[in-house]
Amino acid sequence: MASRTPAIPLSETYRGITTEVARVPLQMPARVPWLIALILSLALLALFLASVTWLFARGVGIWGLNIPVNWAFAIHLYVWWLGLGHAGTLISAMLLLMGQDWRNSLNRFAEAMTVCAVICAGMEPILHLGRPWFLYWMFPYPATMGVWPQFRSPLEWDIWAVLTYLTVSVLFWYIGLVPDLATVRDRAKKRGWQVFFGIFALGWRGSARHWAVWNKTYRTIAAIAVPLVVSVHSEVSLLFASGQVPGWHSTIFPPYFVLGAAFSGFAMVAMIAIVMRHTFQLGHIVTERHLDVLAKVTLAMGLMTAYGYVFEVFDGYYSGELREIATLHDRFFGAYAWAYWGAVLCNFVPLQGLWVARIRRSPVLLFLISTSVVVGMWLERYMILVTSLYKDFLPSSFGYYHASFWDWSTYIGMLGLFMTPFLLFVRFLPSISIFEDKEVLEREKEAAAHG
């Protein structure tokens, strides 16, 4: 979709972009709000550490888990966090390959968001272990007893998937960052900053040779990252689909999960974009058009997710499986119906607003809608987990799950684990791709010149 309205206003200059973006790390514009945010997230982080300490001291029993519902918060949040992460990769990688210029103002912090989210996601399954200190048993190393990991287990798949995904996201984000680090390095006045950015810029000189090789690599990784995202979340879904539990045991799960992930992820990106745009006055670079496109993509993803919902229902009835249908009814009317209808409500009702251009371009409304989507997907993951587990096969072992204080404190604390590194990133690194925006501007200028 070659854009009529330019992503970057032609009035912008290269220097303008540089100063606008590079000033953020060098002389922070919005110190106060940033500090407040940082303090808040550090407080959350402290809560997280406290909860984890207690968790390791006493055992996972401090959570509301039981038999049958022996997976809940830790696992459904794992899925949720990972989902948020995916949009980052999709935005940078897929849109890069599709040559969507508008992406360039968003991809950098979207990627950073991915990294933070994946860290949180990776944390969850570890915390959820009965004996986390033996995590390393999941890796193939010559153990004294001669035992090895079990590669048929979806959990084994997951750990490799998350590991790969984390590494790739970090690398992709970093090499994309190097040229801009060089820019900031050259702008830096204070010695300390010069050294700091100097080191991380690795001595980038912007030579044509650098650019040529860099371009190839960057695009190659991008090309690889897209299938990676799909595979990672498909795997996550297999963690459930591989079990016999009614409500899990379904072939629609992989696409269903991937779409849901992208859905929540784009919503998350929109939220962050709006906040940053507002606090750092980046209105020229993250333009209304960016919001508009983000909104469109979110809407599209949302509709596809909705299709997943519909198909799941069809699937249940079509199977004719007594228990599948029972689980389905249980989702509609059972003890956890609030989670199901909550998910439907938050995910799809406000979403419809995005059909209207005015709403798409209104930061406030878009922010609210995105928030409701993120909440909605939270509920959906919870619903998929708990409503399937609490009533599976033998009525004698049906049992309810109630989240305990520590369930919540661990989760809410983890928001701190997510926000803190992200805040540090926007404070100390160019959170918007300088050179790519210049590239866009260059192209736009060309286009403008030749009619």
Partner 1 sequence: MSGKRFWRSVEEYQRSDAFSEMLKVEFPSIFELWTVDRREVLRVMGASLALAGMSGCKPVRSDDVVPFVNRPEGLLEGRTDHYATAVLFEGHAQPVLATTSGGRPIKLDGNPEHPAFRGGSTPFMQAAILDLYDPDRSQEPLFGGHPASWADFDGQMGNWRAAWRQNQGAGLRILIGPTTSPTLLRQIAELKSALPQARVHLFDPLTGYAGEAASPLQANIANAQVIVSLDDDLLGPGPMQATNARAWGDRHGDLDGSGRMRLFMAETTPTQTGAKADRRLGIPPSRLPTLAKAIAGGGEVTLTDSELAWAREARRALETARGRSLLTVGRFAPADLHSISLQVNEALGNVGQTCEIAAPLGFVPQAGDSFLDLIRDIEARRVSALFVIGANPVYQSPGDIPFAAIYAKVPLRVHAGLHVDETAAISNWHVPLNHPLEDWSDARSPDGLATIIQPVVRPMYDSRSVHEVLAALSADEVPPTRDIVRPTWAKQIGDETAWEAALKTGFVAMAQQAEQAAAPVTSATAPAPREGEVEIVIRPDPTIHDGSFANNGWLQELPKPLFKTTWENVVAISPRLASELKIDSGDMVRVDSNARTVDGPAWVLPGQPERVVTLYLGYGRKRGGRIGTGIGYDAYRMRNAAQPWNCTGTVRSTGARTVLAATQEQHLMDGEVEGLVRTVTREHPSARREEEREQDSFYAKWPQGKPAWGMVIDLDRCIGCNACVVACQSENNVPVVGKDQVARGREMAWLRVDRYYAGDPQDPETHFEPVPCMHCEQAPCEMGCPVHATVHSPEGLNLMVYNRCIGTRTCSSYCPYKVRRFNWFDYTSDAPSPTEAQRNPDVTVRGRGVMEKCTYCIQRIEDATVQADIENRAVREGEVKTACQQACPAQAISFGNLADPESAVAKQRRSPRNYALLAEQGTRPRTTYLARIGEKSDGE
Partner 2 sequence: MAEHLLGYLGEFGTADALFDATKRAKADGFSCIDAFSPFPIEGMADVLALKRDHRIGWITLAGGIFGILAMLATQLFVNVDYPIEVGGRPLFAWPAFAVVDFELMILCAVLFAVIGMFVIIGLPRLHHPLFGTPRFGLASEDRFFLYIDATDPKFDRQETRSYLGSLGAWTVEPVRP
* Torsion sign over Cα 323, 326, 330, 335: negative
393 part of the interface to partner 1, by CB under 8 A? yes
142 part of the interface to partner 1, by CB under 8 A? no
| Partner interacting with residue 358 (select from partner 1, partner 2, none; CB below 5-8 Å by kind) | none
**Shorter beta-carbon distance to partner 1: residue 283 or 399:** 399
- Least spacing, CB of residue 370 vs partner 2, in Å: 29
Give kind and range of the element (H or E) at residue 312: helix 288-319
**Shorter beta-carbon distance to partner 1: residue 28 or 325:** 325
Q: Select the residue interacting with partner 1 from 9, 243, 334, 363 (CB under 8 A).
A: 243
- Least spacing, CB of residue 52 vs partner 1, in Å: 15
Question: Are the C-beta atoms of 270 and 376 separated by less than 8 Å?
Answer: no
Residues 153-182 that bind partner 2 (CB under 8 A): 156-157, 160-161, 163-164, 167-168, 171-172, 175, 179, 182
- Render the burial of 243-270: b for 16+ CB within 10 Å, e for the rest: eebbbbbbeebbbbbbbbbbbbbbbbbb
Question: Are the C-beta atoms of 87 and 262 separated by less than 8 Å?
Answer: yes
Q: What x/- string results for residues 231 through 270 when contact with partner 2 is judged by CB under 8 A?
A: xx--x--x--------------------------------
Residues 16-35 that bind partner 2 (CB under 8 A): 18
Q: What DSSP line would sit under 29-50, residue for residue?
A: S-HHHHHHHHHHHHHHHHHHHH
129 part of the interface to partner 1, by CB under 8 A? yes
**Shorter beta-carbon distance to partner 1: residue 159 or 303:** 159
Biggest alpha carbon–alpha carbon distance for the chain: 76
Q: How remote is the C-alpha of 50 from its chain's centroid?
A: 25
227 part of the interface to partner 1, by CB under 8 A? no
**Alpha-carbon gap, residue 94 to 307, rounded angstroms:** 22
277 part of the interface to partner 2, by CB under 8 A? no
The vertex-426 CA angle with 422 and 428, nearest 5°, equals 110
Q: Give the 3-state secondary structure of residue 450.
A: coil
Name the site residues for partner 2 (rule: CB under 8 A): 13-15, 18, 140, 146-152, 156-157, 160-161, 163-164, 167-168, 171-172, 175, 179, 182-183, 185-187, 198-199, 202-217, 220-221, 224, 227-228, 231-232, 235, 238, 434-436, 438-439, 442
